Copies of this chain bind each other. A is one copy, B any other.
Amino acid sequence: MTELLERIFLGAGASKAVASILANNCAACERDGSLSHGVFRMPGYVSSIASGWVDPKADPRIEDVGPAMVRVDAMNGFAQPALAAASALLIDKAAATGAAILAIRNSHHFSALWPDIEPFAERGLLAISAVNSFACAVPYGASKPVFGTNPIAYAAPRLGHPPLVADLATSSMANGDVQIAARECRALPRGYAVDGDGNPTTDPQVVLDSGALLTFGGHKGSAISLLIELLGAALTGGQFSYEVDWSAYPGAQTPHTGQFLILLDPDRGRGIEFAARTEQLIEQMFFAGLSRLPGSRRYERRAETMRDGIPIDAQELGRLERMAHDGAWQA
């Protein structure tokens, strides 16, 4: 699947490095059952690239601005290659100082956040990341959208287990899930969204056309979404979600904003092992009746697909193969 997706990205005009990173990312989402960020997203990637909105050959520019901070100008490219370019420096800084901040601007993030941070936790680091997106969520107490879906994710090392990874939109749901609901003609849950006049709606197409999501958890979720705008845009130097204006680029779907990431060296300065303590907390949660950790469905799905392969229906596969062929033909 990675090879097929890579051909699509290359055919659409991506550089070899960008195509490889995005193909691996998208295939990993499909593998783990993160379907709203899997192959479902490929037409959006291709359409955004074709529109001229995002540069699929961009070469990110790294700015080493302090012992604990790295800025990256993604040069209007995707965020994942910018993160990949800065990763080694960021890890070095966290190891040297105890913590390191990555502030990516001028970037497009069109995937889940968990693939960005899981690798850091596999190295024993605690990672937290957030991106803003495009205005589609109404601040608590307001009537029009200002915030993006503004996901936040964290990954923590566990002793003897793959990392604990949580990834959550601070909107009531993810945009990808609204798109899937619209495609499948499924109503949204009540209390999740409003129409263009600020009235409640459960129609996903109305939300996509003229409405907006609410933030999760009332004023508290809204306060966290606000923090993510500050981190993803005001801190990075990127655009706020409401500043994204792709009207001159029909077909554009990727939010052109920013990404914030913090790495913490959790054992620095002492002998206690963070990963072992995390394990004690998780044991206590199961003791208290929990049956699933955040992210556990992804790991279960991953085990299944690594054993049995990634299921994909013939129609979807045909669509992807046509995209690879058309792009190659165009190129």
Residues of A within 8 A of B (CB): 63, 65-69, 71, 96-101, 126, 128, 138-139, 141-146, 152, 154, 156, 164, 166, 168-170, 198, 216-221, 223-224, 226-227, 229-230, 233-235, 237, 240, 242, 262, 264-266, 268-270, 272, 274, 277-278, 280-281, 284-285, 287-292, 294
Residues in chain B near residue A100, CB distance under 8 A: 68, 99
Q: How far is the CA of A278 from the CA of B232 in the complex (A)?
A: 12
Q: How far is the CA of A194 from the CA of B125 in the complex (A)?
A: 35
Q: How far is the CA of A234 from the CA of B170 in the complex (A)?
A: 25
Find A69's partner among B98, B154, B242 (CB 8 Å cutoff): B98
Find A145's partner among B168, B220, B288 (CB 8 Å cutoff): B288
Residues in chain B near residue A101, CB distance under 8 A: 98-99, 264
A67-B68, A144-B288 are known contacts; what are 7 more A-B pairs with Cβ within 8 Å?
A: A68-B68, A146-B285, A156-B230, A168-B219, A216-B218, A216-B220, A220-B221
Tell me the smallest distance from the CB of A71 to a CB of chain B, in Å. 5
Find A142's partner among B65, B220, B226, B288 (CB 8 Å cutoff): B288
The residue on B at minimum CB distance from A227 is: B154
Q: How far is the CA of A126 from the CA of B232 in the complex (A)?
A: 13
Copies of this chain present in the complex amount to 2
The residue on B at minimum CB distance from A273 is: B234
The residue on B at minimum CB distance from A290 is: B142
Residues in chain B near residue A219, CB distance under 8 A: 168, 294
Find A223's partner among B284, B289, B294 (CB 8 Å cutoff): B294
Q: Is the CB of B235 within 8 A of A68?
A: no
Residues in chain B near residue A142, CB distance under 8 A: 285, 288-290
Q: How far is the CA of A178 from the CA of B227 in the complex (A)?
A: 27
The residue on B at minimum CB distance from A260 is: B264
Q: How far is the CA of A269 from the CA of B65 in the complex (A)?
A: 5
Find A235's partner among B69, B126, B234 (CB 8 Å cutoff): B126
Residues in chain B near residue A229, CB distance under 8 A: 281
* Residue of A198, A227, A240, A265 with most partner-chain B CB within 10 A: A227
Q: Is the CB of B281 within 8 A of A126?
A: no
Q: Nearest 6 A-B pairs (CB), nearest first? A: A217-B217, A65-B269, A69-B98, A66-B98, A68-B97, A143-B289
Given known contacts A145-B288, A166-B223, A168-B223, is B235 in contact with A266 (CB within 8 Å)?
Answer: yes
